Structure formats: structure tokens, C-alpha cells
Chains A and B, each alone.
Chain A
Amino acid sequence: MTGSMFDVYATENDGENKLKIQNENAWKFSEILEDPMVKDRWEKVRKYFFLRESTYDMTTRCNIRCEGCYYYEGEKQFTNDNRSPEAWQKLMQTEKERGITYVVLAGAEPSLVPELCEICYQKIPLGAIATNGLKKLSEQIGYRIHISVWGNDNTSRRIRGAENMLISQIDKYKDDPRAVFVYTFTRENIDEAEEVVRLLDQNGCRTTFNMFSAPTGYDGTLRHNEKSLLHVRHTMTALMKKYPVSIWYSHYNVVAHTHPLSLHDLYSCSYPRMNVSKSIGLGRSFRQYRSDLTWNRDVSCCVPDTDCSDCRHYAAGSAVVTARMFRHAANPDTFKAWLDYVDTYLTVWVMGYEKGENLCHEPVAPPDLKVLIKESQE
């Protein structure tokens, strides 16, 4: 690697963009939409602007223990489970009434309380469940199912304490249209991604990528550094090229999630934990419920107890990058990159949404790159 990590994202194309970005009025939105492919994609994704998300820890229990798991950090793991179906029905009804249209059922392991997942689905039919995939969820629950993969089976045995994990996950979900396998890149498993993705591809499974984002105070060997971020970037790009159908990702996803700066530093996180404004958007509507059905605005985000300065989590990006539509509408390249990102996000998170071909075929810098390059030269 030569030069600063920031230089990695300064392609020749970016130079032209930067000049246009410096002139705020260089591009009108209507001019950007004159490209029929851009216009079509814009019309496709904007139909989903009605999505209003909140997340719910379903139980404090899990059937495995993974090193670096964000759930078993902080206070939330010490709450008492509320397993009353009536209480969950009431919560979902209240959530619906306050405008929530999309739920994410997460920590610790939702498949251990399938009856509660089903109640959520009956009340709010759009959502996703984050699971380790060891216990299959009923097909009655029509949410997207995100199955976490942290490396090959040797690595899973070592850091998750589970035997034959990937084989077991594939056996349960390989013909399930709800399923998408989420490969989390840590600092240690980057070179295992190829064999895992190949196996998933051979079994007709879909894959998307996540980045290990350290819990607050974690300084273990899974945490990324500049070298590993660059390595992940190259690996993701090569895998996207090799498996263009089975991998749901885009070049801009790669840029956003392997950048030396965290998502918060790049895009200014819009979740309540980092956003004081309650007037509109996530700052107004998002809540992160614990398994006792309480919530606390001060810690509300999709991955509580993650170190914001290290957050590159795929769930965080899905909201944070998507919410920054306005700043990406600065020129055709950044707007196309944003459309690719949103198209990927909707494919990964919303059942029934079909991924389009990526509009960008190379990396595009985030809208504020000109500032980053300037900083790197100082």
C-alpha cells in the first residue's frame, strides 16, 4: 500500500466530482434524473420511503457464545425477558400506531422465541430477523432472515463454539427465499471468505457482507485496522466480480464499509444515540427495545454498545447511508452510488424487492471526500 488510506478512494473519476461538488449548484436534481436508468432506479427505490424502522431484542438467551458479540456487552443482557404474547401484541399494535412499518428482530437469538416473532409478523408484516441459523424459523414468518456467518467452520468452532456451523446453516436455509447469509469480516477471517462464499454459491444461497464493529471497550484481535480494511476492500471487490448473482452488494457498499472513517464519521449517524434531533427521521421515530420491552433513547441504535468510532455495521449503514440521500444528490456519480447502496439495502432487508444491476462499476467517493483528502495532506 502506498500513501494514505484516504488516497485509496481518490479515483480519477473522483477528481472531476470534487470540482463539481465544490460548486454547490453544478448539478440540478432534474439533470441527474435525465439519465433514464437513474430515473428508473430512483422511482423504484423511492416507493420504499414509507419504511419506518425500529429494532427489538427478543430474548436475553442465545444457544452459542461468540467472541465480540455486541449483545453481551453493556446493560441490555441483564434485563428480564417479557415472554407474554399479550404484551408483545400490545407493543406491536402501539408501534404500528406510532408509524413503525418495519421491524428488526435481533438479540440475543430470536429463533429461541419463535412464537414472539410470529406475533410481530402478524402485526407488522415487513421486517427482518437476525439469527445464527442453528434453529430454523417457521415459514409462517415471512420476514427476511439474516443468517450470521463469521468464517469457515474451523473459525466458527473457535470463536463461536459451534461445530459444523456453516453446513448446518446451509442445510436449514438453502432453499428458503427469505434467507440471506451475512458474512461478517473480522480482522482474522478475511481469507476464509472465498471458500465460504463459494460454498454458499454452490448451494444457491445469497450472501451479503458485514464488517465486525467493535463493542465499546473491545480491543481484541477481531477489530479492524487500516491494513485489514484495505484487505477486506480488495476481497469484497474480487468476490463481487466472481459471484455477481449470489452476492448482494455494490461498489459503494464496499467504499462505505471499508473506509478508514467509521459510518458515523463519514455520514453523521442519524440514530438517536448520536442524533439529538427528535424532529424528523430516525431521531424522531427509531427505538431499540430490550427484551423486557423498555427502551432508552440515549442508547438507541441498531447495534447498541458498539463503539461508534469503529462502526461499519451493515445494519447501521443501511439506515445511515440511505438517510443521506440529499448530500448524495450532488452529482450523477454520487447519486448513482447512493442508488446502488439503497437498491442493495432494500434487497437485503425487504422480502419481495428484486435487486437491479448496479449502476456503478467502480468505486465512487463519499460526498465529503474532498475534505478527507485535504485532511490527509495536512
Chain B
Amino acid sequence: MPEEIDRIILRVAQVMIHELKLEDVTPETFEPDVDLVDEVGIDSMDLATVALVLQDEYGIRIDEDDYPKLTTVRFISEYIQKKMDK
């Protein structure tokens, strides 16, 4: 369902921008494949914050051990989609 994943990508980008107060980027222009650690400069505490907000919103459990995999907005969105499909 490409439309569904696009919606999640947009929402993850919104949460990321809002929670981390990212400047010079909008949800629409946030490149979903950009590396969040290397290129955006987010760290583990930032990611944990975003994960907590997304957990609330989607009613899923994000496993702490899965953080290393969640390196782009697309990976996070696909992870959420998989959890919701279960």
C-alpha cells in the first residue's frame, strides 16, 4: 500500500521536525532516505523521544533494540507499518 506508507512518512517527518525543532525543512521536503544520524545529526536521546511520540500515535511498541535499524524516516515508517499490520 504505497499511499499508506507515504502518509506515515509524512507524519514521521512532521514529528521529527516538531520534536527535534529542525529548521529549514518541511515534512514535504524532508528527504525520507537521508541518514538521520550522519546527515541530520540526531542522536540516541533524540531518537528515543521521537520513538515515544510515535508509539503513542500509532499504538505500537518500538523495541529499544531496534533503534540501530531506524536510521532514516523511511525505515522508521516501514517499521511502524509492519508493527501495525501484525
Taking Cβ atoms with an 8 Å cutoff, the residues of A that contact B are: 24-25, 28-30, 46, 49, 52, 99, 270, 277, 279-282, 284-285, 322-323, 325-327, 329
Q: For the complex formed, measure the closest distance between the CB of A8 and the CB atoms of chain B, giving whole angstroms.
A: 26
Q: For the complex formed, measure the closest distance between the CB of B57 and the CB atoms of chain A, giving whole angstroms.
A: 9
Q: Give A323 to B52 CA distance when docked, in angstroms.
A: 14
Contact yes or no, A24 B52, CB < 8 A = no
Contact yes or no, B59 A25, CB < 8 A = yes
Contact yes or no, B51 A326, CB < 8 A = yes
Q: Which A residues are CB-close (under 8 A) to B52?
A: 29, 326, 329
Within the complex, which residue of A99, A280, A327, A329 is in contact with B44, where a contact is CB–CB below 8 Å? A280
Contact yes or no, B49 A280, CB < 8 A = no
Contact yes or no, B41 A99, CB < 8 A = yes
Within the complex, which residue of B53, B61, B67 is in contact with A280, where a contact is CB–CB below 8 Å? B67
Q: For the complex formed, measure the closest distance between the CB of B23 and the CB atoms of chain A, giving whole angstroms.
A: 14
Within the complex, which residue of A46, A52, A329 is in contact with B43, where a contact is CB–CB below 8 Å? A52
Chain A: CB-nearest residue to B53: A29
24 contacts between A and B (CB under 8 A): A25-B61, A28-B55, A29-B52, A29-B53, A46-B49, A49-B43, A49-B46, A49-B49, A52-B43, A99-B41, A279-B67, A279-B68, A280-B37, A280-B47, A281-B43, A281-B45, A285-B43, A322-B45, A323-B44, A325-B48, A325-B49, A326-B51, A329-B48, A329-B52
Contact yes or no, B64 A327, CB < 8 A = yes
Q: Give A366 to B68 CA distance when docked, in angstroms.
A: 24
Assuming A25-B59, A29-B56, A49-B43, is B48 touching A277 (CB within 8 A)? no
Chain A: CB-nearest residue to B46: A49
Q: Which B residues are CB-close (under 8 A) to A282?
A: 44
